[in-house]
Amino acid sequence: MKKNLYNIIKGKFLVNDDALKNWRFIFFLSLLALVMIASSHSADKKVYQIAKLSNEVKELKSEYLDIRKRLMQTRMESKIETAMAKRGLKPSVTPPQKIKIINNE
């Protein structure tokens, strides 16, 4: 057991007669490690992109709500009256009347 551990530390398993299968296995493990690192980087990149897009969605929602609030305020009758008073227009005192056209043909 002690001799085997000492041989592993010295690296004799890489220079023995059957070292080719050991080198293949080491190459295979290295390739798997590279694939794992690449997929990890890809997943991290996607996480950052999702976070960025969710922040952008939040900003757009708040902008939408702000614009909708301003629109509702500008559509209020009192706001329209004050805006038109600056131009010299006043609301009518008499209510509108319906005009009915009867066609006797």
Whether the model clears a pTM of 0.85, i.e. scores above it, the answer is no
CB 50 within 8 A of CB 60: no
What does the pLDDT look like over 20-67, one tens digit per residue? 777 888 899 999 999 999 999 999 999 999 999 999 999 999 999 999
pLDDT at position 35 is 98
Which alpha helices (DSSP H) does the chain contain, by range? 2-10, 19-74, 77-86
